[in-house]
Amino acid sequence: MMQLPVAAVPLMMDDEEVAKSVPSTSPTANGGAGSGRGVSDGVAEADAASGDAGGTAIEGGEGAMGEPSTSTLEVEVKAKGSAKEGVKRRYESWPGNETFFCGGACVTGPYYWGIVGTCLLILIPCVVFVVFVAWPLYEDLRDSDSGGGSKEIGAYVLLAVSIALPCLSLSSLFCSGCMDPGIIPRAPAPLGNTDHIARTRHVEVNGHMVLVRYNDTCNFYQPPRAHHCSVLNDCIERFDHYCPWVGTTIGKRNYRFYLIFVFSCTVLCVFTFACSAYLVKIRSDDPDTSVGEAIRGEPGALFMMTYVFIGIWFVGGLSGFHIYLLSRNQTTYENIRYSYDRNSANPYNKGCLANWAEVFCVRVPARNCDFTEVMPEKEENPTAAL
């Protein structure tokens, strides 16, 4: 039950002063042994009256026969109703630049439409590939009489892979772009002058001294490998980089899904290019068809080969770069900022296999902050002005 504030009563008053300040309706208020009862009844009625006038009441207030008064119950019901109407979740007052969906369960960056554009860049060519390349190849292999049924099995595998790879790429894209990357909640602002706070300090990590910095926006020393993202305006655990193609920052919690997205896109590009070239080869095997005629006869295959040839330089190079970083347990930010390989030892390198296992063989860490949490409503004390 909601505890409502009690009307203020001046302190350091004896019974006689209370009796004079509060009117009594009891017939024995001014006489003999009934005087004390008259004062208590008068105080109870005065409190009830002030509760009706000022919107406050004593919880569990009782009438003359020990039953809750009607006015007290009405005030309690109104208070409960207003509390339900004023429900506010944590994400609604979050100071960062994140965009929240599904009541705070999905977290993305301020430019979340980047993930929509990336989705279209994958989905539209994949539809073209399935309709104009994968399906004709499926029919050619299924209808082939040679091979003792092996080509028919290959036809089903080809069609399944043609659908599974885009699904894997899109699902990992949305997982990496719509989850908390490892946001660290801000600490309360320190009171008074902050000039005495050291800007940097050293902490030991795996036997190495690592420099950490004090963040004036988040009011704490950033943990090792954390960095304040200027786009999200929040500190991110194991900050890697901000990716406009995903629409959010890549950090400790979504780095695995980002790698799956990049690697699957690379495999998808190689697969579609190979299938498109194979379809052109099948068409050119006809004695009456030259290679040029086969290419002109399969515009879908020509489009896919051109498209993925351009794309594979981007996603393929990105895959190679992150394979290098993952093998040495570095982030993109650390590789650019600290250059461990040239300037100093990497305190996080555990060996190639252990580094890969650290990303792919552990559970996704829990969120540092539950954005769906209902925040307690701050109530103003109506007796503050009394």
Residues 310 and 289 reside in one and the same domain: yes
- pLDDT in 10s for each residue of the chain, 386 residues: 344 343 333 333 444 443 444 444 343 334 334 434 443 444 334 343 344 434 433 343 444 444 445 445 444 444 444 444 567 899 999 999 999 999 999 999 999 999 999 999 999 999 999 999 999 999 888 877 565 567 788 889 999 999 999 999 999 999 999 999 999 999 998 887 777 888 899 998 888 888 899 999 999 999 999 999 999 999 999 999 999 999 999 999 999 999 999 999 999 999 999 999 999 998 888 877 788 888 888 999 999 999 999 999 999 999 999 999 999 999 999 998 877 766 678 899 999 999 999 999 999 999 999 999 988 765 444 433 33
Residues 151 and 279 reside in one and the same domain: yes
Would you state the structure tokens that stand for residue 68, as one six-digit string? 């809750």
Residues 157 and 259 reside in one and the same domain: yes
Residues 174 and 319 reside in one and the same domain: yes
| 86, 102, 127 - which closes a domain | 86
| 86, 115, 141 - which closes a domain | 86
Residues 36 and 180 reside in one and the same domain: no
Residues with a catalytic annotation lie at 243
Residue 71 lies in a domain: yes
When divided into structural domains, the chain yields a total of 2
pTM of the model: 0.74
Write out the DSSP string of 114-179.
Answer: HHHHHHHHHHHHHHHHIIIIIHHHHHHHHT--TTTTHHHHHHHHHHHHHHHHHHHHHHHHHHHHSS
Q: Which domain holds residue 53?
A: 15-86
Q: How many residues does the chain have?
A: 386
Q: What pLDDT sits at residue 146?
A: 60
Expressed in angstroms, the distance from the first to the final Cα of the chain is: 25
Look at strands 227-229 and 234-236 and give their pairing: antiparallel
Would you state the structure tokens that stand for residue 52, as one six-digit string? 């009706």
Residues 365 and 296 reside in one and the same domain: yes
